[in-house]
A = this chain, B = another copy of it.
Amino acid sequence: MNEFEAIDEIVRTLGANSVGPHVQLGPGDDAAIISSPRGFDTVSSIDTLSEGVHFPLASDPKLIGYRSFMVSVSDLAAMGAEPSYAMVALILPDYPEIEWIKRLSEGFKEAADICEMPIVGGNLTYGKQFSISVSVHGWVPSGLALQRTGSKVGDMIYVSGRLGGAAAALEQCDLAGERAEGKLEPLASAFFKPKSRLDIGISLRGVANSAIDISDGLLKDLYSISVCSGVGMEIDSASVPVARGARLEQALYGGDDYELCFTGQMLPESLFSDIFCIGKVVSSSGIRVDGEEVAPGGYIHFSR
C-alpha cells in the first residue's frame, strides 16, 4: 500500500470524524480550514520530515531545522494564509550533543524569523529515527483561501520560480557535507533553503482560482489540481522555468522545490516579478506536455 492508498483508507475510516461544524475544509487539500470568528478562518497543517527520507542524518542540523520548518509553512503559502503560529514535535536520535540541538533550534529560529511566525510549543521524545513534525497555523479572510478545486477552463497556469533545483541537488550534491555558515552551493540551497512563498500566496487571494505548493513534483501536483478541479491542463515545456544546473525532466518530475503553482486569468505582469506562465487549463481531463499525454508521474513517497 502506498502513501496515498493509506491516507485514503484513513480518511474513509474516519468518515464524519474528519468534518465538524467549524471545519470549512477537511482532509484533501494543502491544509485544513477551520472557522475563526472575526472574519478570518484558521488554516492549519502538519508535516513530518525524517532522517534518511527527507534529509541525510549527517546534514548540518541548522539546515535540517530550517528546511523542515519552511517545507511545512509552504502549505500555508499555498492556501494564501498569513502565518500565525507553529508547533514542533521531535523524535531525536539517542542523546544528541547539546550543540547539535542548539543548531537544530537555530535552523527553526531562522525560518521562524523569516516567516514572522512564533513556535508556541512542541513535544520531544527519543527514538530510532530522527524526525520532525511541524504543525503550522495561519489565518485567511473567510472564503478567500486558495484551494485545489477552483481551476477554471481558460485559466492560465503559473509557477512562482524556477524548478528542479532540489532534485538536481539530490543527484549531484554531497548534501550531508554542506554547512549553513559556508556559502551554500546554489543547488544545495534549493534543497535546504526553500522559500515558502507566503507573500505570493497572500497576493493571490481573490486573484488566483486555485493553488498548490510543488512538493511532489510539478506534474504530480498539477495532476492533483486537475483532478480536484475536474479540468485538464496543457503545459508548454519550453515555458517551464528550469533552475540553473537542473534538467527539464527534474523541473517536471522533481519534488521538493516548494514554489507555488497556481491558475487564474491572465495576470497583469506588474503584479509579480519572476512569475512564469507555463500553460493553460482546458476542458479535457489529464495533463498534456507539448501535446503529449503524460502519466501523473511525479514523486510518490515510497510507492512500490
A6: interface (CB < 8 Å): yes
Q: Which of A45, A47, A135, A137 has the most CB of B within 10 A?
A: A135
Q: Are B127 and A133 in contact (CB under 8 A)?
A: no
Give the oligomeric copy count: 2
A118 contacts across to B, CB distance below 8 A = 17-20, 22-23, 26
Chain B residue at minimum C-beta to C-beta distance from A5: B98
- With A15-B109, A37-B37, A47-B89 already in contact, the answer to whether A9 and B135 are too (CB < 8 A) is no
Q: Are A125 and B3 in contact (CB under 8 A)?
A: yes
Q: Which of A50, A98, A123, A126 has the most CB of B within 10 A?
A: A123
Chain B residue at minimum C-beta to C-beta distance from A30: B121
- With A37-B38, A109-B17 already in contact, the answer to whether A124 and B7 are too (CB < 8 A) is yes
Q: Name the one of B9, B37, B45 contacting A105, with C-beta atoms under 8 angstroms.
A: B9
Q: Are B95 and A3 in contact (CB under 8 A)?
A: no
Q: Are A101 and B6 in contact (CB under 8 A)?
A: yes
A20 contacts across to B, CB distance below 8 A = 85, 116-118, 120
Interface of A is mostly: mixed
- A: number of interface residues (CB 8 Å): 78
A275: interface (CB < 8 Å): no
A26 contacts across to B, CB distance below 8 A = 118, 120-121
A3 contacts across to B, CB distance below 8 A = 124-126
1/0 per residue A77-108: CB within 8 Å of B? Answer: 00000001101111110011110011011101
A10 contacts across to B, CB distance below 8 A = 101, 104-105, 108, 122, 124
7 CB-based A-B contacts, threshold 8 Å: A10-B105, A17-B109, A22-B118, A44-B85, A46-B135, A125-B301, A133-B133
